[in-house]
Structure 1
């Protein structure tokens, strides 16, 4: 009987990992250090398959779907500007965790390009014996210091995943809730369901592979002068590798709808929006 029970458990785990599960988290953010009363909330997806997981914005997924449908129809239908505006996201990054090689890849857009780096800081958890219930799950407490913040997580062993939202993971179960002690950022599991496979996010322009330190340098340059950053022909860290959306190396800049004749009024609005967005991201999720 014990052997049969073990086989049944093994089959359950195999079946769980043979399909993709989507976990929907509510992300709460106070990204403007000058206005902590402004709380931004939106949903994000954590898609988990046998070999990897991907964390990204629900709004980005919806925008990508609309754009993809438009491209497939030849672009004749155009975009509903109001609808696309409503789907703008404060979560411009995505996080991919590769279970086979234990790597975490962080990708975020700076200006026109997407930058990707491999996370080089391990998560050192202190697991507490404290337990409670969150929704339908029995959860256990764990704490860690990461990115200049102290985080408290609650994980459950009811689900066979050692994963979580953002870069968090590595606990003996799925993270149901994680928040920093200042109350600036929190991720709360809302629901989950099955999907055919992990989403394939659209990638426009170039993807530049850099070290984390180079990414931070480029990010700081953009924050100081986003307009100048976007008009520069160079960019990227000292150890960058430029990869086209189709996988080619050494992609030339100037493609993918850049440049061209733009209305001066539209350019001015874009400049003002970039500067305003840079100012409002003065309290990022990672402080160091």
Structure 2
């Protein structure tokens, strides 16, 4: 009887350790460099398990779920463009941290495909003795200069995680809040709860692994001439998803009644407009 109890306890502990936690952050952004008065907010998830963590848009997660259900039930006919438009996201990228190998992988869509690179710049934190309370957590201040912005983070050791939203990590605790000194971007923890496992995001198109400098070159090519970029990738349209500049772009509404030339023109205008509206990226260099 005692042995059975030990086995049950071991199985229970194994199940608990296999679980993951989801941390929900509110992301506040000023993505348009020409209009800093326009503030956009969106929720993002940070899923953490023992092996890895994944940071991604809440809207993307909802879009993936709806698309999978629609295709399973009705195929392409089940695609509801209005429903997809309501879930468009500025955060079209995802960031995965491999805890075992100490690697941070960044993925973003350019045209038809997803480009992936391993982050090659370390986060060098300067930890302050300054502390305060944010919600229920006692937090401590830390600063870092990363990708052209000076960031201030507040982390807590009240939770058993050394992680944070976006590429932020490497502190002796979980990042509860992080913002840049210009007030353009901030990530604020709203809540957290248990989940069975880290989410698995749908990948439409090819995943192309590159070095970070190569990704930046491809990103500039996409912004300067998106139609040519997409054509070189194997044709117009393809498997792109709706999104922002730097993310895949869905064909304009009513595309089925347009000529290919008109459709290309409308899509190009839309991509260029969205590029302008995202002219203040989170990484400046």
- Are the equivalent residues in 1 in contact too, given 2:53–2:97 (CA < 8 A)? yes
- Are the equivalent residues in 2 in contact too, given 1:163–1:173 (CA < 8 A)? yes
> Does residue 278 in structure 1 map to residue 275 in structure 2?
yes
- Are the equivalent residues in 1 in contact too, given 2:112–2:237 (CA < 8 A)? no
Residue 127 (structure 1) aligns with: 127
- Are the equivalent residues in 1 in contact too, given 2:30–2:38 (CA < 8 A)? yes
CA shift at 1:279, angstroms? 1.3
CA shift at 1:268, angstroms? 2.9
Consecutive unaligned residues in structure 2, runs of 5 or more: 1-12, 241-254
- Are the equivalent residues in 2 in contact too, given 1:133–1:139 (CA < 8 A)? yes
CA shift at 1:285, angstroms? 0.3
> Does residue 40 in structure 1 map to residue 37 in structure 2?
no
Residue 50 (structure 2) aligns with: 50
CA shift at 1:269, angstroms? 2.4
CA distance in 1, matches of 2:239, 2:110: 14
TM-score normalised to structure 2 length: 0.85
Q: How does 1:245-264 map to 2 (within 5 A)?
A: 253=234, 257=238, 263-264=258-259
CA shift at 1:257, angstroms? 3.9
TM-score normalised to structure 1 length: 0.84
Instruction: Summarize deviations over 1:99-119 as a string: whole Å, max 9, x none.
Output: 000000000001111000000
Residue 213 (structure 1) aligns with: 213
- Are the equivalent residues in 2 in contact too, given 1:93–1:109 (CA < 8 A)? yes
Instruction: Summarize deviations over 1:195-218 as a string: whole Å, max 9, x none.
Output: 111111000011100000000001
- Are the equivalent residues in 1 in contact too, given 2:52–2:97 (CA < 8 A)? yes
Residue 179 (structure 1) aligns with: 179
Counting helix residues as a fraction of each chain, which structure ranks higher?
A: 2
Residue 194 (structure 2) aligns with: 194
Residue 161 (structure 1) aligns with: 161
- Are the equivalent residues in 1 in contact too, given 2:140–2:155 (CA < 8 A)? yes
CA shift at 1:227, angstroms? 1.9
Residue 100 (structure 1) aligns with: 100
Give RMSD over aligned pairs: 2.1
Residues 258/108 of structure 1: CA separation in 2 closer, same or farther (3 Å cut): closer
Between stretches 178-187 and 266-275, larger displacement belongs to 266-275
Consecutive unaligned residues in structure 1, runs of 5 or more: 1-12, 234-252
CA shift at 1:136, angstroms? 0.8
- Are the equivalent residues in 1 in contact too, given 2:31–2:279 (CA < 8 A)? yes
Residue 6 (structure 2) aligns with: none
Instruction: Summarize deviations over 1:62-105 as a string: whole Å, max 9, x none.
Output: 00000000121141652332221110000010000000000000
CA distance in 2, matches of 1:225, 1:76: 29
Q: How many residues align?
A: 256
CA shift at 1:132, angstroms? 0.4
Task: Work out which structure has the larger RCO, using CA pairs closer than 8 Å and 6 or more positions apart in sequence.
Answer: 2
CA distance in 2, matches of 1:201, 1:142: 31
Residues 224/77 of structure 1: CA separation in 2 closer, same or farther (3 Å cut): closer
3-state SS in 1 of match to 2:163: coil
CA shift at 1:14, angstroms? 8.1
